[in-house]
Amino acid sequence: MSLLDLSRWQFAITVMFHMTFPAITVGLSILLSILYGAYWRTRKPVYLQMFRFWRRVFAVGFAIGVVAGIVITFEMGLNWGGYAAKTGPVIGPIIGMEVVTAFFVEAGFIGVLLYGDGRVRHGTMFASTVMVSIGTILSSTWIIAANSWMQTPAGFVVRDGRFEPTDWLDAIFNRSFVWRWPHMVLAVLISASFFVAGIGAYYLVKGRALPFARRSVSIALGVAAILLPVQIFVGDHTAGAVLPYQLSKLEALEGNWAQPNTGFVLFAIPDQQAQRNLAELNIPCLGSALNKDLSCRTAIPGLDLTPKADRPDMAAVFWGFRVMFLGGLLMFGTVFYATILRLRRKLWTSKRFHRFLVWTTPVGILAILGGWTTAETGRQPWLVFGQLRTADAVSHLAPGEVVFSVVGFSLLYLAMLAAYIGYIVHTVRIGPERDWPDERRPDLDSVPLPSLIGGGMR
């Protein structure tokens, strides 16, 4: 394995590990804001119970995600020195804005979110929770802006081998960002919704904490039912913004090596070296139909249209897209059936559906990982599409050092992921019963401010 391949594997493992946590925590941060706002307004203890339980899951995932995100920044400079040197004038300020607008906001209010319950007034607690959720959204905004510029670069000139910005509006709001950002925000909200719904369904199956479970499942499925149709619309326009610019990605995700083929390749085992599929399941005419041609005459483009040196790895792009696409279909079918059950007043009595819903807990996360795999491997062999090749951006390091770091990072991330999953399982088994509010504690909103300052809460 070459130095380039090793560095790519190291970065891919780090990014995929990191993305697992924002796929949960961004949506959970917004859910926490909704739950605490509902408790503040209604004073119903069940909302505070839900807030405390989901905050516990959010906190650990947020911490691990931040740590993994910092590692990504270091890898950009260490393993991808050519990339950092050449794209620094554009990428550097964008990543810097994430630190200023996102990390500072989150760091300023995360302490109140985690430890302020029962210690500060409800308005302060709610405002801090909202600010943390705003910080998570800002973080995703700048990351998607940087990545979208790499997908569809704009607003720059190349001087002495470096990319220098000429128009920041064009660079940030490039042709793919305006669709990729809402696509990603919707994805993490839907992913968190299924995560919450799956865990809530577990308690429905077990017959535990039913008020908590019903509200968790109801809110999560309701949000997903609203957002999934919107996501289908946005996802289609995202493809329309990127794929015409990156035809090689379109050709690879379709799974065709050569034209003409009017079918849709549902399953394939691509052989990149031989430039063919070792095995495939092709549904005749479906590809043409998806392109709005029912006459079965519209051929799907093949990867042979792209020069061999510019072709991405078909297996990664093909299966990444299938995981995202099929995961999306599964989630859409789930919320569609859940809506029917809700209208028929059978949502809380259908035990089979509750058991099925438990198994869908990680589907949204897997769909996001599949989408990122499609986006990043489909851009290859370009780091900045059409402008900077990946091979020209890698640092010249000793292969042994990179092998050691790849193996070490893989083992460390595997252990951290296993620990996080174990923590979630442990938390779920304990349950939300311990989070029920102690009604004997005084309500800070009813205590005069001078009493608080004077030590009235001692």
* pLDDT, position 228: 96
pLDDT above 80 (res 446)? no
**Res 441: pLDDT:** 58
| Span 331-352, pLDDT tens digits | 999 999 999 999 999 999 999 9
Mean pLDDT of the residues in the chain: 90
For residue 458, the model assigns a pLDDT of 35
Q: What is the pTM of this model?
A: 0.93
Across 68-78, average pLDDT? 86
pLDDT single digits (tens) 383-438: 999 999 999 999 888 888 889 989 998 999 999 999 999 999 999 999 999 988 86
pLDDT of residue 85: 93
pLDDT at 444 over 60: no
Tokens 């300020």 identify what position?
93
Based on the number of CB atoms within 10 Å of its own CB, is 434 exposed (0-12), middle (13-18) or buried (19 or more)? exposed
Average pLDDT over every residue of 77-94 = 92
